[in-house]
Structures are given as structure tokens and as C-alpha cells.
Structure 1
Amino acid sequence: MTETIEFVLLDSSYEILGKEPVVILWGITLDGKRVVLLDHRFRPYFYALIARGYEDMVEEIAASIRRLSVVKSPIIDAKPLDKRYFGRPRKAVKITTMIPESVRHYREAVKKIEGVEDSLEADIRFAMRYLIDKRLYPFTVYRIPVEDAGRNPGFRVDRVYKVAGDPEPLADITRIDLPPMRLVAFDIEVYSRRGSPNPARDPVIIVSLRDSEGKERLIEAEGHDDRRVLREFVEYVRAFDPDIIVGYNSNHFDWPYLMERARRLGIKLDVTRRVGAEPTTSVYGHVSVQGRLNVDLYDYAEEMPEIKMKTLEEVAEYLGVMKKSERVIIEWWRIPEYWDDEKKRQLLERYALDDVRATYGLAEKMLPFAIQLSTVTGVPLDQVGAMGVGFRLEWYLMRAAYDMNELVPNRVERRGESYKGAVVLKPLKGVHENVVVLDFSSMYPSIMIKYNVGPDTIVDDPSECPKYGGCYVAPEVGHRFRRSPPGFFKTVLENLLKLRRQVKEKMKEFPPDSPEYRLYDERQKALKVLANASYGYMGWSHARWYCKRCAEAVTAWGRNLILTAIEYARKLGLKVIYGDTDSLFVVYDKEKVEKLIEFVEKELGFEIKIDKIYKKVFFTEAKKRYVGLLEDGRIDIVGFEAVRGDWCELAKEVQEKAAEIVLNTGNVDKAISYIREVIKQLREGKVPITKLIIWKTLSKRIEEYEHDAPHVMAARRMKEAGYEVSPGDKVGYVIVKGSGSVSSRAYPYFMVDPSTIDVNYYIDHQIVPAALRILSYFGVTEKQLKAAATVQRSLFDFFASKK
């Protein structure tokens, strides 16, 4: 008997049952029941693109394709169709078979048939193919006809249904209606006295948990036996039954460690909603937990360039979740010491709880954006964070291509090609007052829309331009793009920006402090991220719709646009301080700035708005490097080298504080006094070693390095001590006293007695240089920073000396 249910889609997967594929949809009904929907009707397919000149033979080619059919997975159909490929009409054959894995075999065989130019869309994963074709998006409400599948012991859900018809969305993408979901954060602590933890030998001594009901729990080992830990973890997950599981670096450490540890101990890590299934590492490197959405919050922290160190405690402090000063911090190599000492174990337990509280707090900050990103791209939540922004946009484009009857190009391995980038002016160095930053709204997407840029709109022969109503010609590079009809990218971007405007309008219906407002804000941010990725995507060598000439043309138009705006600003008498890609810094004259905005919008046809106003802003001679004092008193620091990996945390702190003092007080001498106090604290051994660690990533195996850089030497010493060190690992080291090169004195920070730190190295090569990048402009010297105060100076003196 058929009935209709309303549910929110969480995830999709598929299995082969009998000799047919079955799509599995995991979801929650609006009344809070966890459900599985099984669709037996969908079949895998791909396309054969018919070569030019063979269009009249498409039926014969389809017959040849049918003759390739094998019993294991027969070709059900080979149907000729009219499609579009890079915007142009093409003939194709849609080849449908039974088993998804067989598509690979048929793809290669079909390509060998005369008249077939290529096989397309054979690499789109079956479960995602289903979501695209059925226009299903995660975290969206659907009404769907179903039949009760009865009790199914294979799934840990409230009900199992068989899909009886296609889903119908209950709302458009500007609506957000979600039932409450169960969330759990987890973190593990591992006991290892012999270097890097090894799941073959080292036990999991604590699993810490915090759930959406506010409950916290520690599951602890019995001495060094972690069998109970793993079993109780499995029991906990199955009992609480979370929809979303979050961790921090869990895809690369916690889950793989638990999975391997469970295998070693012969324990089934049966924490999924599919009975008997265990977590597996899947595409994009994420760990798949069937029926649950496993989210690694580290993926989102990685996308925050303003945070130098991506440790849990650093990110939690930066986002206002938990201050480092208010939590327990224990270095990982000291965990055995705290575990084995009954007096110290309580502190280790507090540390484990602080870790999971910080993880849960980050989830509250990051998940709203992640969920909206999943909804907008159509990619399930557990995958969307693990993939790069190019892949996110690509899945969005693939859905658009399906709706527009466009064939999706294959991914081709190619070498990256460089091209001229954006305009970045050399700044007027010094301190400037009352500076406004003007920002071109979505400059590159707007250029792509205005000039119809895309791989399908390029016109190679100028004589063909008249039939397209003319061509747009990119300045400098001369690439031509037809004026009409609209190309694939223009259509997609117009829809994307229109959708964003609709969402922003929807936001206005709610107070800024309401949950609805915040959710819509996260959605419009997700849409903005996709739109802004479109230009870079075309120049990305892995892109299906790769087009170097398109990317080259967009940057050429971008350069022309900002230089034209700069020229007009100067004609108006505005002092231009700096320009970078899509931003202009000018001394704020309200009337003249309004005229500039009017010129850009009416004459040039682009939107530009005031982004921020600095009371004071300081530029060095370098591009992309400045410090500004905003109207609300906040300090805005961009691009100073103390964020580099070969500077310690103290150097960054000193540089930021010096800039803050100078801009806030106007007193240079106060900044000098601050630096001297830091140097004094350093000499007296009062600075924690954690602030002196220099972090650098190993880009290759230790043996492959020809020169012994400091981080390489530190890595060698780690390896000699029994620690595993691999390419991609971040090595934290400090410089100790002694003779010889800096490299020869670089040691892993956890192998060093703080009293052996070479204080003079940090003063001469970290603290003073970091401070002087700002203070030297005001006439401050290295000698002054290390000596007693001699003269009081302010910014007033600095300005006076420049007259």
C-alpha cells in the first residue's frame, strides 16, 4: 500500500542486493523518526559522444554498443539523444546497464567503436548520480510516495520504506525547515611511550564525548587494556544514535586509529546505522559512517588563513569557544606520565573533557555554514568539508549541466599553466588617517556574467562574431567571447547570484540575533563562496570545465576595471593609497567617494561598496601587508610575515601588539617599552616554550632533502627517537644554545629542557626583526629595542618630520 511521507535527506549510498543496485536514502521525517528509503528502480548509465561527421550513423553506433552487452551486467538500453556539449548541439547515446561497477568496463569498450569520440559521465559515482537526477539536496524537505518495507533488521532506524515514486520538494532553497538532529562530539587520548602513537601496539586510554543534550562522558581503559574502551564506545554510539558525529582531525587520526585498533583487538567497530557495516575511508579522504554524517571540523579550520596554528586549542580560542588560559593543556608525549600517576590522572581527565568541549563548541560555530554548503552544492555533509572548493563548485556545475541538458566533460590530467594575475599596487608607505576601503562586489563572477565568459562561448575566428551579435574582446590578451546566446557559466552564475539575493532578502524578515537570520546568513555565505570560486575554477588544472583563456581574460578585464577606477578616483582628487585585486584604499572624502561609486556602477556597470573605514592605517613598502585601526577600535592586521611558518608565536604576538600600541596610542615609545619588557621576560625564562615553537611542514620524505633546514634536522631527531615522520607532517622545533649553525641546534620542542633555549637567537632573529617590520618606519632601531629608553616620540612627531 502506497503512502506519502515528508522527510529531510541526510545522505545517500547504495548496495548490490541480489543482482540489482539499490539506492539507500538516509533521512529524518518532520516528526523526528529516523528512516531509510530504498529505491530499486534506478540504474547506472553514461554517454557515448558521437564524433562529428557520424551524426547520421547514430542508430548503427547504438546497435554496436548493444552488442557489447555481457551477462554479468547487461546493457539494458542504448538510446540516441540530442544533447549539448560545451554549449553546442551534439548527438549522444545514453548507455544504461545494471551494475554500477560495470560502467568502467563498458566505458573503455564503447570508446573503441568507430564514430564514438569519447565516453562521458562514466566517473560520476552512482549514489551522487541518483541525487543529481532526482534533484535531491541534503537538508532539504521532500514529500515522497513510499511503501512500507516492513521490519528490516539490517538497518538501525525507526522505519524502512521502499520508494514508489519521485520526490517533490516542499520548499525552495530559500527556505530552511529542519527537524532537531542528534549531535555528538568525540575525541580520543592514546598512550604511547615510544614516539608517535601506533595502533598496532598503543592503547586508546580515553574516549571523551559530549552530546546535543548537554551530557558529557569519559570512557576509560582498564590500565593499558583498551578493549572496554572500544566496546563501550560502540555501545554509546548505538544507544545515543547520533545523526552527526564531529571530531577535530578525526578523519586523519581518531577514526583511522580506532578502526585499526579495533581490527587488532578483534572488535567490530559497528557504530553505523547499517547493521554489520563499519566505518571506511572513502572518497576525498573522509571516513564514512553509514547512516550518520561524520564531520571533521579541522577541514573548516584549514580554510581559515588568519589562524596560523590549527591546533584545537588555538582554533577554539580564536573563535571565542574556549580560552587557552581557562583550559588544561597537556603535551601529547606527556600523556603516559599523567595516565600512570594516579595523582595526575584527574588532570588528564579534565584535559580530555576540555578537548571534547572545545570540539563541540567549534561544531556550534562551524556546522551551520557546513550544512548550508552541503545544501547549496548538493554534496552530503560528511564529504563537502573534506573536498576542496574546486570540487564543491564542480558538483554544483554538474547539477546545473543536468538541468540544462549539457554533457559533463571528463576530468583530464594536465599540467597547471600560469597566466597574468590581478593588479596589486605598491602602497604609499606610512601611516594614513581616515582611509576608506572600496570593494568591488563579486568582481570576477560579475565580469564572467557581463562578458559571457566560458569555455563554450570562446570565438576563435573573428569573422564569426557577427552571427553572435558581436564579440566581447578581453583587453591585453585579445580573447573573444560571443555576446549571445548566454553561455553555461553566465547562466549558472546569474542563477547563483539571484539565489543569493533572494536569501539575503529573506534574512531581512528576521531579527539579526534570531536563529533563522543566522542560518540564512550562513546560506548566503555558502552561495558567495561558490560564485567567487568560479573564476579560479576555470584556471584549475583538474577542472572538468578547464579554460586557461577564460581565466586569463577575466583577470585582464579585472585589471582594466580597477585601473580605470583608480584613474577616475585621481581625476576626482582622491588620494589613492593602495589597490589590490578588487579593492581600493583611498583617503575618505564622502562627496568624492560617492561620485566614484556612481561612476563605477553607472559608467562601468559594476557594483562597488564601502567595505570598511580605517581611522588610521599603516603600510610598509610591501604589497598585501598593512595594519589598520578600525572605527570601532579593533586592529586589522593583514599579511605581515609573522604569520609565516618559520616565525614563532611570540614573534607574531609582538608584531601585532606593537602595531596596536602605535595605532591606538600614537606613542612609539610605549611600543618600544613593550618590546623591551618581552625581551626581559624572555631572558628571565618567563616565556612558555609553547610560544617559542617554530612550525614548518615537511614537503617530502626526510631522505629526499639535500640541505638540512632546521625543521628537517628536528624531524631527523624525532625519527632517531622512534617517532614516525611523514611528508605533510608539521614539525615543531626550538633553537637551543650551543655552537654551530641554527639547523644543528634545532630540536623537537618536546625533547628540550626550557633552560637550554637560545634566548639570544629568539631576540635577534625573531622578536626584534618582527617588531622592526613596523617600528623601523618610525625611526626605531635594533639598538633602541635592546637598550634603555632615550627619547619619547609620538605619531605627531612622525607626521611633523614628514612635512
Structure 2
Amino acid sequence: MNELLPGVKIVFYEETKEKEMILDTFELMKKYPLLITYNGDGFDLPYLYNRASRLGIDRQKNPLYMMRDSATLTDGVHLDLYRTMSNRAFQIYAFGQKYSDFSLNSVSKGLLGEEKIDYGVELGDLTLYQTANYCQNDARLTYNLTAFNNDLLMNLLIVISRIARMPIDDISRMGVSQWIRSLLYYEHRQNGILIPRRQELDNRSSNVLNDAVIKDKKFRGGLVVEPEEGIHFDVTVMDFASLYPSIIKVKNLSYETVRCSHDTCKKNTIPQTNHWVCTKKNGLTSVLIGSLRDLRVNYYKNMAKKDTLTVEEKQLFTVVSQALKVILNASYGVMGAEIFPLYFLPAAEATTATGRHIILDTIDKCKESGICVLYGDTDSLFVKKPTPKQIEDIITKAKMDHNVELEIEKEYRYVVLSRRKKNYLGVTKNGKVDVKGLTGKKSHTPPFIKTLFYELLDILSEIKTAEEFKRAKNKISDKISECARKVQAKEIPLQDLAFNVMISKAPRDYTKTVPQHIRAAKQLESIREIKKGDIISYVKILNKPGVRPIEMARKSEIDTSKYMEFMESTLDQLTSSMDLDFDTILGKPKQTGLEQFFWN
């Protein structure tokens, strides 16, 4: 049966005409300046290139050019969207973590609301028309990832390419540290400034005392204020807009200005450190990052909201603002990373120390104004029931005292804070549930735990009063108890028990440490080919090697104790902040200490 979509045509070649088919494919490629694939670097293009070579196709007729870890065109640009979507700068800052793993299915579902076709059988068992339909749908999804929202991704790549002074295919494959390095190196050359060797920067900081308090950390990071555990109603989150880029700009922080050679500058100290900053010249990093920050905050961000602009104009300003946001949010992370060629420890330390000073000073100002601070994390504060006047005062003081922008980021109906830092749950006034640091949302979590997790979130989203919260705790306990019963009774389908993990390289390339999903992949190699980018679905079993691919597993061998442990560790992050104990929910006795053996 012909299952192709209307307007889609299929051309069949005889088995003896493979060479002709590949030549026709190459001719089609040459008609377009841009080739877009999903994992084309890792599979499609190397396969085509090697088949062409094996079939004796003249090298001059082959438009593909293979490099060590990527593929390009002799006449054109190849964008591998798998590499682009795997870039956390895009995943987090551009697309707001709408997808959790980097498979075409996951990314398409998160950004487009569409999925790959699943016929329920192995690819090798599909009919020719089903295979054509499957491939055409993959191609359509891949194209739509660049076309949705008025070509958002393509426009982002082009804008970032212009800012970073890099080719678009490099932008699509390389991390944000390479973008920023390219931008900084370009400005050095434009201004006739010698680019320092890394050894020179390391020598300048070799004898400097630092304030690192965590093992293996070169310097202290941002401040995290101890959370007030429990449920809190009417909570406002105050956020410092682009805090670290603002500090780099305002404090003139750069590798050449921190701990400069001028004696007169040593009075211009950085709080909580023994560093000082130059007052005689502007640092290149400070000027560059500060300029990009000002462009975004003072121009593009505001222009995107103007009612007088057309939809297309608004979209353009939004894209530029987002591109700048991607670079700015990553700028400090890059400056503070040892692998970055312009990394200078005192400059990184000065940035975080200033950030801690600003947060602590703002907390003191909040207390003076009668505002209750529940929690703080690097560049944001959670405050309880502030009045509009109190918020306005704090924003004004932050601007006057530190020349940084403090703004309202979110307003929660209530927030549940756990004893863990960087771990909370908040429900906005319209019922949207925000989860921070909870593994129930992570891509590898088995579906049955994800389903339970979101059912619990639905219960929490309905709460409006403290009394309703108490009733919700009982509902949550009942749901967890019932799910645990099903796990122990082995009533949950295998596909709902599966851990789904993408492999980043071929199983044979894992030699020293072999993760669980690779153990499962090696078992699968006996029945099908496994390659980089494949999703491996496996379950935990009682016997060695401890895991089994879902295709080869039986319910009878499932290790229920492992699933109970994973379920407990996942949900404990949520239940602990609600004063619920997992063992108590399951009806087990709770051991509080050794004394119970002697005194109970």
C-alpha cells in the first residue's frame, strides 16, 4: 500500500543500479548551497562517501569532503543538527530545555510537537513504501527544526556567526567557548594587541593565594544561601539580569586589568579577595562583554517588545537578543574554565567574589526593608510576600550601590524548598509547575517513574492553601504506595521500566569504563548493528551483567529492588521537602538511630 504523503514521490532503482542512485543523489546535493542532516557527520555522509568510493565513482563527481570528525561539501555548507542540538548553549539558553536528550525524536517532540514514525517493527522489516515514508518524515522533521518559528534556528546561527566571526558550519558544531575565543582573538587582532600565551597568564597567577574552599576547585563559585525547608506561599523570585557579564563590565574585569602592574591601582580592591583592578585602562574582555550586554539589555530586548514594529521586525530583534543571551550567559563560564586559552584565575575569582558580595549586600538590604529571604542561588533571591514598594526599593538600591539590574523573574503561588541546595519546586500563579534539580525530569528516568512524577506534580499544581497542601500529601503518599506495589509485583510493562540512553560513540570504543547502557548495547550487537547516536533501552536484572536490552529481557528477571531504590532516590528529592518519608509511605519501620535498639 502506498503510504506516502500527498505530493511526495518515490523513485525505485534496481539493485544493480546503486551507482546510478548515488550519482543522482550527488547531483541533487549540488543544486543546494546548504545540506541539513541529523547525525550526518556520524553516519549518513560517511556511508555515502564510502559507498561511492567502493563503487568506483570518480572523486570529481563526489561533492562530499570528509574530515576527522565531521563531513562537509566541496561546494556548499553542511549543518549537522545533531551536533547543534547537543550544544548545551542552544539546549538551555536558546530553547529553554524543551528537550532532554538529543535524539531527533526527542528534539522534534520538544520543539515541534511532532515525532518520528513508529511502525512497531525493526527497520529491516518495513515495506519499501514504509521505509520511504519513514525517511521522508525524518527529513521533514530535520528541515522543520530550522524552519519553525520563522526560521529561528537558522537566524540564530547566522547572527551568532556574525558576532563570533566564525563560519556558520563551525558555529553549528563547536561549543560556545570556541565562539567566544574567536570573538576575542578577532578583537585582539583588530586592535593590534598581542594574544598572550597561556603560560604567561598562568605565571602571573602562580603565586597568588586563592579562596577555594571545595576540593578540586580552583576558586569559590557563586553564593548559595541555605534554603528554609518547607512550603512557602506568595513567593517572588528576584533575579540579577546577566549578573556576571554586568560585573565584568562594571568592575572592568579582564586578564590584563586584574592585578595590573600599577601601584596606584592597588587601592581599587575586589571584596573578599586580595586582588585589585586597573583604573588606568579598560580591559578588552570588559569592553567587549559589556558592549554586548548593553546592546541586548538596552536595545534589542526592548525593541522586541515594541508594538509599533511588524511581526517580522519583532522576530528579528528577538533572534538577535537571544543570540546575545546565549553568548553572554556562557561568557563567564568560559572565562572561569581552565581549558579556555585566556583563562586567568584572579579574573575568574574576582567575578564570583563580586557576585557573592552583591548578593550578600542585597540580602542585608532586604532584611533592613523587612523582606524575608527564603533562598538565594548565585544571581537570584526568593523572597516571601514582598510589597510592591519593598521590591521597588531593593531594585533601586541594587542599581545605585552596585550598578546592576535587579528584576522580578517569577511570582510563585507557592514554593516547596528541600534541604538540598539548587533543588526546589514552585507553582506559578497560573498553575505551571517549575522543577529545579529533580531527576524525575531527566531523560534517562524510566517512563513509569516519569509518569508517577508528573502525576504528583499535577496534584501539587492544584494546591492553593496550606490546608489543601496537607490533603495533597495524603494523595501523593497513596500514589507512591500503589506504584511501589506494582513494581514489587512485577506488574509494570517492560517498556515502562526501560532506561533510555543515547550512546555517544560505538560500543567497541569503550575500553576502560563500560557504563550500563554500553553493556546492554554489546548484548544487542548479536542481533543488530549499533552505532553512535542510537538510543539504547535497557532494564535492570538480577543476574550479571546487571542489565538487559529491552528486546531480550523477561519480566521474571527484573531486579525490583534496584527499581525501588531508583524510585526512592528520585522521589525523595520531592518528598523530603514535603516532610514525607519513603519508608513510612511503604509501611516500613523507620530507623532513627542506634539508640532504638537499646531503649525501644
TM-score normalised according to structure 1 size: 0.61
Q: 1:521 to 1:220 in 2, by over 3 A?
A: farther
Alignment of 1:570-719 (within 5 A): 570-589=367-386, 590-643=388-441, 647-665=445-463, 666=469, 667-675=472-480, 687=493, 689=495, 692-695=498-501, 701-705=509-513, 710-718=516-524
Instruction: Give how far 1:681 is off.
Output: 7.2
Q: Aligned pair in 2 of structure 1 residues 311, 424: CA closer, same or farther (>3 Å)?
A: same
Give the match for residue 236 of structure 1: 28
Specify the code of the residue in structure 1 equivalent to 2:419: E
1:609 CA drift (Å):
0.6
Q: CA deviation at 1:397?
A: 1.4
Contact 1:411 1:542 survives alignment (8 Å) = no
Distance 1:642 1:750 in 2: 24
Alignment counterpart, residue 39 of structure 2, candidates 249, 254, 261: 249
**1:452 — aligned with what?**
252
Give the aligned partner of residue 361 of structure 1. 144
How far apart are the structure 2 equivalents of 1:511 and 1:359? 34
Give the conservation status (yes or no) of the 8 Å contact 1:719–1:725. Answer: no
**In the TM superposition, what whole-angstrom CA distance separates every residue of 1:329-368 from its partner, at most 9, and x where no partner exists?**
258x921122xxx4xx444433323322221221224323
**Conserved 8 A contact 1:440-1:607:** yes
Match of 2:161 among 342, 367, 374: 374
Residues 464-503 of structure 1: pairs in structure 2 closer than 5 A: 464-466=262-264, 471-500=267-296, 501-503=298-300
More strand per residue: 1 or 2? 1
| CA deviation map 1:710-740 (0-9, x unaligned) | 33532443456675678x987542124xx44
Q: Which amino acid aligns with 1:335?
A: L
Q: Could you say which residue in structure 2 is the equivalent of 1:329?
A: 118
CA distance in 2, matches of 1:519, 1:531: 18
CA deviation string 1:368-426 (max 9, x = no partner): 32222122222121110211111101111122223322233456799997221111122
Say whether 1:393 aligns with 2:180. yes
Say whether the 8 Å CA contact 2:253–2:347 is kept in structure 1: yes
Amino acid at match of 1:406: I
Amino acid aligned to 1:351: Y
Aligned 1:184-583 pairs, distance under 5 A:
216=8, 222=14, 226-238=18-30, 241-267=31-57, 276=61, 278-282=63-67, 285-302=69-86, 303=88, 304=91, 306=97, 307-322=99-114, 324=115, 328-329=117-118, 334-338=122-126, 342=127, 345-365=128-148, 366-410=153-197, 418-459=218-259, 464-466=262-264, 471-500=267-296, 501-509=298-306, 514-583=311-380
- The answer to whether the 8 Å contact 2:236/2:383 transfers is yes
Secondary structure at 1:613 match in 2? strand
Tell me the equivalent position of 1:745.
546
- Partner Cα separation in structure 1 for residue 498 and residue 521 of structure 2: 17
Give the distance between the partners of 1:655 and 1:511, measured in 2 at CA: 44
Q: Structure 1 CA distance, aligned partners of 2:155 and 2:7?
A: 21
Residue deviations 1:283-326 (CA, integer Å, cap 9, x gap):
8x44222442221222332222533322111111112331x4xx
Post-superposition shift, 1:438? 1.0
Verify the 8 A CA contact 1:330 1:348 in the aligned structure 2: no
Amino acid in structure 2 at the alignment position of 1:249: N
**Superposition deviation, residue 485 in structure 1:** 1.7
Residues 288 and 572 of structure 1, relative CA distance in 2, 3 Å threshold? same
Q: What corresponds to 2:593 in structure 1?
A: none
What is the CA–CA distance in structure 1 between the aligned matches of 2:16 and 2:409, rounded to whole Å? 56
Alpha-carbon distance in structure 1 between the residues aligned to 2:456 and 2:382: 23
Structure 1 portions without partners, runs of 5+: 1-208, 271-275, 788-803
Q: Give the corresponding residue for 1:103.
A: none
TM-fit CA distance, 1:687: 4.2
CA apart distance, 1:439: 1.0
Deviations 1:474-527 (A, max 9, x none): 222211211122121122123222332333344345668813212221111111
Could you tell me the percent identity over the aligned residues?
23
Question: In the TM superposition, what is the alpha-carbon distance from 1:229 to its structure 2 partner?
Answer: 4.0
Question: Structure 2 vs 1, CA of residues 297 and 493 (structure 1 numbering), >3 Å: closer, same or farther?
Answer: same
**Per-residue deviation, 1:780:** 4.3
Change (3 A) 1:735 1:393: same
Q: Secondary structure in 2 aligned to 1:480? A: coil
AA aligned opposite 2:242: S
Of structures 1 and 2, the one scoring higher in RCO (CA 8 A, sep 6+) is: 2
Q: Which one-letter code corresponds to 1:381 in the other structure?
A: I
Distance in structure 1 (CA, Å) of the matches to 2:13 and 2:308: 48
Aligned residue pair count: 548
More divergent stretch after superposition (536-545 vs 773-782): 773-782
Q: Any idea what SS the aligned residue of 1:499 has? A: helix
Q: Is the CA contact (8 Å cut-off) linking 1:453 and 1:489 kept in structure 2?
A: yes
**Deviation per CA, 1:212-257, whole angstroms, max 9, x where unpaired?**
xx9655566646974454233223223xx22322222222222222
More helix by share: 2
Matching residue's letter, 1:261: R
Q: Cα RMSD over matched residues?
A: 3.6
Alpha carbons of structure 1 residues 232 and 674: separation in structure 2 relative to 1, 3 Å: farther
**Residue in 2 that maps onto 1:61:** none
Partner of residue 592, structure 2: none
Counting only pairs closer than 5 Å after superposition, residues 714-793 of structure 1 correspond to structure 2 as: 714-718=520-524, 723=529, 731-736=536-541, 739-740=542-543, 744-752=545-553, 755-756=555-556, 758=558, 760-761=560-561, 763-778=563-578, 780-782=580-582
Gaps of 5+ in 2: 203-215, 464-468, 588-600
Q: Shift in Å at residue 747 of structure 1?
A: 1.4
Q: 1:227 to 1:491 in 2, by over 3 A?
A: same
Mapped contact 2:201–2:342 kept (Cα < 8 A): no
Instruction: Please state whether the residue corresponding to 2:36 is helix, strand or coil.
Output: strand
CA contact (8 A) 2:201 2:343 kept: no
Q: Distance in 2 between matches of 1:494 and 1:569?
A: 27
- Report what 2:590 is aligned to: none
Letter in 2 for 1:301: M
Q: Which amino acid in structure 2 is aligned with residue 329 of structure 1?
A: D
Matching residue's letter, 1:711: H
Cα deviation, residue 613, structure 1: 0.9
Task: Kindly provide the amino acid, as one letter, of the partner of residue 486 in structure 1.
Answer: N
- What SS is found at the alignment partner of 1:570? helix
Look up the equivalent residue of 2:523 and give its one-letter code.
Answer: R
State the distance in 2 between where 1:268 and 1:761 align.
59
Counterpart of 1:437 in 2: which secondary structure? strand
Larger Rg: 1
